[in-house]
Amino acid sequence: MALKKEDLPAFWKNYEASIKLGQPKTISYATFVVIDTETTGFDLKNDRILSIGALRLRNGEIKAKEAFEVFLKQSTFDARTVEIHGILKKGPRNRISEIAGMEKLLVFLKNSVIVAHHVGFDVGMVNQALRRNGLPKLMNPKLDTAILFNKSLPRTKRKTNGHYSLDALCEAFEIPKTDRHTALGDAYITAIAFLQILEKLKPASLEQLLKKDRFWEFWKPA
């Protein structure tokens, strides 16, 4: 059940307030949060988030200390995806509740621009988690590295569906695949790919960059 506006928790209200601040127009001053989720599966409705990794990117810099990494307790669990991300439902990591994870995430996100590979999926999963806890959807501007990558290629080489795996980006940018399939590891790879894509696109402003990304058009769940 969605909470009434006045019943929304303080952390949500703070988040909403920060969103209103917006982001500077100059790319090098803007704050991006590169995010990746590991989930029990690919179904937005029935699957759950097991971990979220995120890092903050400003002026081409990432501070190791500011990396965000949470592991969530979930009752839904799909043994098949364990093979991919290696996260067991009761793994050794410190697990927190979904709502506690959402609070931490919103505090970390603030008014940043969210960047993810197939951002619709990660944001969609987060939105579902927010909804289960009575909260509204994320309000940050979003960028999809799959789409931006497609745009960075010469026209003749672009794919019409804009679908590229993160592995394809690793190969294109010669990024080593260490830590692939951990949330923060994938977020890091995405961040490095994002920086190299920016270098190719050379957008004049944040607004122009956001325009290049119409992600919903391309995101179709597998």
Partner 1 sequence: MKNTISERVADFLKAYPPFSNLLKAQLEKLSQEVTIIYKEKDSFVFKVDESAHIQFYVVHKGAVALWNKEEKAVLDICDEGDIFGLRPLMANENYRLTAKSEEETILYAIPIEKFRPYIKENRRVADFLVESFASNTRNPYDKSNRGQLLGDSFQSKTGNSSPLLDLQLVEFSKNIESASEQTTIKTIAQRMTSKGIGAMLIEKEGLPQGILTDKDIRNKIATGDYSITAKAKNIMSSPVITYPPKLTITQAQMAMMKSNISHLVLTEDGTVNSKAVGILSKHDVMLSLGNNPAVLVKAIKRTNTVQEIKPLRNGVMNLLRGYLEQNIPMTLTSKIISELNDACIKKVVELSLAQMEEEPPVPFAWLAMGSQGRSEQLLHTDQDNALLFADVPKSKFEATRNYFLKLAQIITKSLNTIGYEYCPADMMASNPKWCNSLSGYQKMTTKWIVNPGPDEVLLSSIFFDYNRSYGDKILVSKLSQHIFNTVEEYPIFLTHLAAGALTNPSPTGFFRQFLVEQDGKHKDFFDLKLRALMPLVDAARVLILSRNVPDISNTWERYEKMAELEPNNKELFLACSYATKALLRFRTKQGLQNNDSGRYINLEQLNKEEKMKLKRTFKTIKEIQEVLNVRFMVSRIL
116 versus 130: smaller Cβ distance to partner 1: 116
- Does position 178 interact with partner 1 (CB under 8 A)? The reply is yes
Rounded distance between C-alpha atoms, residue 103 and residue 132, angstroms: 13
Q: Is 169 buried (19+), middle (13-18) or exposed (0-12) by CB count in 10 A?
A: buried
- Does position 179 interact with partner 1 (CB under 8 A)? The reply is yes
- Does position 196 interact with partner 1 (CB under 8 A)? The reply is yes
Amino acid at 29: Y
Q: Residues 108, 149, 188, 215: which binds partner 1 (CB under 8 A)? A: 188
- Does position 149 interact with partner 1 (CB under 8 A)? The reply is no
Rounded distance between C-alpha atoms, residue 172 and residue 197, angstroms: 11
| Size of the residue set binding partner 1 (CB under 8 A) | 21
Shortest distance, position 219 Cβ to partner 1, whole Å: 26
Q: Residue-wise over 10-41: b if at least 16 C-beta within 10 A, else e?
A: ebbeebeebbeeebeeebeebebbbbbbbbbe
19 versus 70: smaller Cβ distance to partner 1: 70
Between the alpha carbon of residue 220 and those of residues 88, 119, 188, the distances in Å are: 27, 11, 24
55 versus 169: smaller Cβ distance to partner 1: 55
- Does position 203 interact with partner 1 (CB under 8 A)? The reply is no
Amino acid at 53: G
Shortest distance, position 143 Cβ to partner 1, whole Å: 16
Q: Is 206 buried (19+), middle (13-18) or exposed (0-12) by CB count in 10 A?
A: buried
Binding to partner 1 in span 51-80, by CB under 8 A: 53, 55, 60-65, 67, 69
Residues interacting with partner 1, by CB under 8 A? 53, 55, 60-65, 67, 69, 178-179, 182-185, 188, 192, 195-196, 199
